Amino acid sequence: MDGLDRLTVQLYRSGLGLAAVALTAIAVLLAMADRLAGGDRMLTIAWLVFAAATGLSTHHLHIYDKRFRWFVGAVTWFGYFLMIVSSRVGPSAGHFLFCAGVGFLSVALSTFALKEQFCFKVPLQRLVPLSLIVGVFSHLAHVDHLAAAAYGVAAVCYIILITAKLRMPLHYDIGKKEAYQI
């Protein structure tokens, strides 16, 4: 394991940690949106952190099969594209496209959680895809309290995930380099 391997594992794990922070902030802000001055601006920042965290982990994902690496990268970029386009259209279409973009980023975050469940037996990670799906569709339907609860469940799962990852040696995330498809 060389210096670049250590750096990329740390960046991958940093993305997971940022995702936990962003999901927590999103859950809290959606739950308190109607009572919090400046809540919309803070929520926008939380969504940006969510997107950045997803990209950070996507870019530094160590997984053997190049088809999975390509898939995770593609859904992340498509999610970014939809989120950017959402700001260029009307409010109704914009909300739909934004939620669709969050949905694609949620696919990437779900992939990380399922990978960690499969590879390292990190508990409760199978709840991440379900909670993110509920969060996206609830947010799309403007049922913010349900979305907040769903994102809160995902946040707790990601907190468990990053806590487990921080206890692992860095080389666990690399595995056998010769098994990678280039």
pLDDT beyond 90 at 147? yes
DSSP per-residue codes, 118-168:
HHH--TTTTHHHHHHHHHHHHHHTT-HHHHHHHHHHHHHHHHHHHHHHHHS
CA distance 51 to 47: 6
* Residues 57/12, Cβ–Cβ less than 8 Å: yes
- Give residue 23's pLDDT: 98
* Top-confidence range, 14-23, 38-47, 55-64, 110-119: 14-23
Question: Is pLDDT above 90 for 174?
Answer: no
What is the rounded average pLDDT of the residues 168-182? 73
Task: Collect all residues with Cβ–Cβ distance below 8 Å to 79 and sequence separation of at least 6.
Answer: 51, 54, 101, 102, 103, 104, 105, 106, 107, 108
Q: Confidence class of residue 64 from pLDDT cuts 50, 70 and 90?
A: confident
Task: Tell whether the model's pLDDT for residue 52 goes beyond 80.
Answer: yes
Q: How confident is the model at residue 181 (pLDDT cuts 50, 70, 90)?
A: low
**What is the CA angle 85-149-143, rounded to 5?**
55
- Whether the pLDDT of residue 26 is over 90: the answer is yes
Q: What was the pLDDT predicted at 176? A: 65
Look over the chain and give the mean of its residue pLDDT values, rounded to a whole number.
Answer: 93
How much is the average pLDDT of 145-173?
Answer: 95
Quick check: 179 pLDDT over 90?
no
What are the extents of the domains in the chain? 3-179
pTM of the model: 0.92
